[in-house]
Amino acid sequence: MKKVILLFLITLLVCFASSLTLVSCKSTYLDSKKSPALLDIAKENDSNAFVNLRNYSNDFVFDMKYATADNFLKEKVYPCDECFLRVKTVKALLEANKSFLTKGYRIKLYDCYRPKAIQKKMWKIVPDANFVANPKKGSIHNRGGAVDISLVDSLGAEVNMGTKFDFFGEEASHNYQNLSEEILANRKFLKEIMLQHNFKSFDSEWWHYNLNGSNKDEVSNQKWHCAD
C-alpha cells in the first residue's frame, strides 16, 4: 500500500515539475460530445486550443476515412469520426468554406488532427515514410494544423479531382498536368481559395492543406473521448 501511495506522489511531483517546463503530463481528452447549439469561433480566445469543428458549423461534409476501414491501411485507426483542429485552423477553414459556399460548393473533410499515438499505430501498420509520416518527427496533422479535403457541389456530388484521397502516385500531385482541363480547373479552384485563406498546399497530395505557420506548433497527443 505504501508503495502505491509513494508511486502516486512521485507521479504528482513529476506532473507538477513537467507543467513548469511546459511539457504536458496531464491526460487531456478531446470530447466528441456535441454542443446543443452551434458555437461562435470568434469567442474562442485561445487560438492554439483544440476544438471539434462540428460544434462551429453545419456546412461541412464529413467523411473521416481513418474512422473506417476504407483507407489505405485497411484498418479503422480512429475511435470515432471527429474532426478536431486548433482554433486558428478552424477559423481559417470556416472562412474558406464560406468562400466555397458563395460559389455553390462546400468542403468535404477526410482527415484533421491526428494524435501522435495514432500516428505511431499507423507507422506500425505501414512503416514506410512514402506513405505515413514517421511519428518521431510528426506531421502537421499531429500538430492540429492540417486538413485533407475535397469539394462537393450543391447536390452533394463530389467534384472530380482526378484521383481518390490517399492515392499514392504522381497523378495525385499538383504538378501532374496530364489530366483533363476540368480536373486541373477543379484542383486549381480548391487550391486558390485555400491559399487565399492562409493555407499552404502540399505538392504531392492535392487534398492536403497546412495552415501557414502550423509547423511551429507542438506535436500533440490528446486522447479522444468518443460519445457512445
174 marked as binding residue: no
Using CB under 5 A as the binding rule, whether residue 208 contacts Zn ion is answered as: yes
User: Residue 219 in contact with residue 136, Cβ under 8 Å?
Assistant: no
- Residue whose beta carbon is closest to Zn ion: 208
225 marked as binding residue: no
Sheet holding 205-211, edge to edge: 61-62, 105-111, 146-153, 205-211, 199-202
Using CB under 5 A as the binding rule, whether residue 148 contacts Zn ion is answered as: yes
Torsion angle (degrees, nearest 10) of CA 97, 99, 101, 107: -30
Coil, strand or helix: which one is 36?
coil
Shortest distance in whole angstroms from residue 146 CB to Zn ion: 5
Task: Tell me which stretch binds Zn ion (CB under 5 A): 34-42, 82-90, 143-151, 210-218.
Answer: 143-151
Shortest distance in whole angstroms from residue 99 CB to Zn ion: 21
Task: Name the residue nearer to Zn ion (CB basis): 41 or 122.
Answer: 122
Per the DSSP assignment, residues forming a β-bridge with 61 are 108
User: Residue 72 in contact with residue 130, Cβ under 8 Å?
Assistant: no
Three cell numbers at 60?
461541412
82 as an active site residue: the answer is no
Task: Give the number of other Cβ atoms within 10 Å of residue 27's Cβ.
Answer: 9
User: Residue 206 in contact with residue 199, Cβ under 8 Å?
Assistant: no
Shortest distance in whole angstroms from residue 214 CB to Zn ion: 12
Task: Name the residue nearer to Zn ion (CB basis): 32 or 139.
Answer: 139
Element (H or E) spanning 196, and its range?
Answer: helix 181-196
Q: How many residues bind Zn ion (CB under 5 A)?
A: 2
List the catalytic residue out of 44, 182, 205, 218. Answer: 205
Task: Name the residue nearer to Zn ion (CB basis): 63 or 148.
Answer: 148
Shortest distance in whole angstroms from residue 184 CB to Zn ion: 21
40 marked as binding residue: no
Coil, strand or helix: which one is 182?
helix
Using CB under 5 A as the binding rule, whether residue 200 contacts Zn ion is answered as: no
Q: Residues annotated in the binding site for Zn(2+), as ranges?
A: 141, 148, 208
The residues annotated with a catalytic role in the active site are 205
Q: Residues annotated in the binding site, as ranges?
A: 141, 148, 208
Which stretches of the chain bind Zn ion, using CB under 5 A?
Answer: 148, 208
